[in-house]
Structures are given as structure tokens and as C-alpha cells.
Amino acid sequence: MAFDLNVFASEFGIDPATLQSKPEAFAKWNGYLSEADTKYTSATQAQKEAQAALDAVKAEQAAIDDKIKSFSLTEAEVDSLRANYAALEAQAKALKAQGYNLTIPDTPVKHEPAAFDPNKFQNDVNSTLVQGFNVMNRYQRLFGKALPDDLDALAREAGARRMPFTDYVAQKYDFAGEEKRQQEASTKKREDEIRAEAVKKYQEEHPVTAGNPELLRGGESRFPELAKRPAQKSAHENYGGSPAQRIARSVRRSLEGLAATS
């Protein structure tokens, strides 16, 4: 059964509605759990297949050993042949000492095949599994998706090229190149952010005010002094008299005002 948040809630006595009240978080963590459950299932299956392969190899090695025994000499027969060879070698040396030109071959050396070590085989299988998970995780981190090829196919390709498994996979998918590209993109993004912050700060400290009089900085006034207000005349002086007198007073006030502003 696949493991998800509903199973988690059931085992710990949590109301599923509490988790489902936040659908985005619920979906995100369900995705994580589903991926982890899939990887665990794959790892378990791979372990079972590796164990089955190990058992098959053990059985095949046992059959080979039995076959070799059926065609090989017994230890007593080997000792007898060696004794006969030693006697013949002694006779040949005696004849050679009498002047006969004889070539005495070296004593044959028995080469024993290396014994099958199931522990070493198991360690090799475990190491291959670990390397497989490492390259899958590295590909996932770099490209954001699952490794497109099967591990056994990649292992055969690496073996055909006589390269270590992890080195071959890294070369095939250009892990180093992708890491470099991502590092350069990250550096460029950071530099762009720094430049944008610097431009924003400069614009705030040096606003553009050209063409907008309301944003111009203050300056010296072209009219630093205000015109003095003419002295207030009495109502009789302003409004009394004949029309000619009122006109004369108005002209005089205008002249006084002009003189005050000049």
C-alpha cells in the first residue's frame, strides 16, 4: 500500500480533514511521500534482484566446481605425476652430464583459479546500488526530472567503454557542464539584482526633475524684495474732492507705486 498523509493521519489519530484544509501543503507533502515510497520500493526490488543474482551465481559456481572436479586429477594422482617427473628429470640430468645435449623443461606450475568470494560479490552489488542512487539523485537535482536511462543499461555501456560507472554517467549527461551553467546563471542573477538595487538607490537619491517646475530644487528669487504697500490715505483724501482732484490723486498713487517697485 502506498504511503501518504492519509495513512500518516490514520496511524497517529489525526483528523484527515485537518490536513486537507490546506490543499496546497497537503498535495506537496503527498508528492514528497509518494516519491520517497517509490524510491524505497525500487530499492527493495533492486535488492531482491541483486540477491537473486547472487544466489544464481553461487549455484552456477557450485555447478562449475563440481564439473571441474569430475575432470580433474585427484591429489594422489598429482603427487604421483610429480614424483615421476622428478625421476625423469634426474635421469635427464645424468644423461646431460654424460655429454648428451638435452633440454629439461621447467616443472609445470599448477595455477589455482581464484575462489569465488560471495561477500566480495555482495559488496560489489551494494556498491553498484549506492552508485546508482547517487547518479539518479544528482541527475534529479541538476535537471529536475528522473534519469532517462535504466541503470543496468548504463552499467553495460560503462563496462563496454572500460570506464567507472559514475564517471561514465557524469560524462554522458555532462554533469560538470550543467553545474557550471547553473552556477554562472546564479551568479548573473545575483549581479543583476545588485545592479538593480544600485540603480534604484541612485534614482531615489537623484530624482529626475527636468521639465517639471514643481520638482525643481529651490533657487534664488528674481524678485527678492516685495513691493511696499502705499500708505493708506484717509477716506477724505481718497474719495473727496472734484473729479479732477480724484484723477490727480489716482495718477499720483500710480506713480508712487511704480517708484516703489523700481
* Tens of pLDDT, residues 80-96: 777 777 777 777 776 66
pTM (two decimals)? 0.37
Q: What is the pLDDT of residue 108?
A: 57
Q: Is residue 12 part of a domain?
A: yes
Of the ranges 14-28, 38-52, 57-71, 228-242, which one carries the lowest mean pLDDT score?
228-242
Q: What is the pLDDT of residue 69?
A: 65
Is the domain of 82 the same as that of 36?
no
Domain hosting 90: range is 73-108
Is the domain of 62 the same as that of 20?
yes
Is the domain of 42 the same as that of 104?
no
Q: Please count the other Cβ atoms lying within 10 Å of the Cβ belonging to residue 211.
A: 7
Is the domain of 80 the same as that of 55?
no
> What is the tally of structural domains in the chain?
2
147 within 8 A of 135, measured Cβ to Cβ: yes
Q: Which residue has the higher pLDDT, 110 or 198?
A: 198
Is the domain of 41 the same as that of 60?
yes
Is the domain of 65 the same as that of 23?
yes
Q: Is residue 217 part of a domain?
A: no
pLDDT at residue 18 tops 80:
no
Find where cell 563440481 sits. 66
Mean pLDDT, range 12-21, rounded to an integer: 71
Q: Quote the Cα angle for 183-188-193, to 5°.
A: 130
When pLDDT is cut at 50, 70 and 90, the band that residue 190 belongs to is very high
Q: Is residue 65 part of a domain?
A: yes
Q: How far apart are CA 36 and CA 24, in angstroms?
A: 19
Mean pLDDT, range 250-262, rounded to an integer: 76
Whole-Å CA distances, 254 to 121, 224, 225, 246, 257: 119, 22, 19, 12, 5
Q: Is residue 52 part of a domain?
A: yes
When pLDDT is cut at 50, 70 and 90, the band that residue 242 belongs to is confident
Summarised one tens digit per residue, pLDDT across range 48-91 is 777 776 777 777 777 766 765 666 556 666 677 777 777 777 77
Helical ranges in the chain per DSSP H: 5-11, 16-20, 23-71, 75-97, 118-143, 151-160, 165-172, 175-205, 235-239, 243-261
Is the domain of 17 the same as that of 59?
yes
pLDDT at residue 132 tops 70:
yes
The residue from 46, 70, 94 where one domain ends is 70
Of the ranges 42-51, 137-146, 227-236, 239-248, which one carries the lowest mean pLDDT score?
227-236
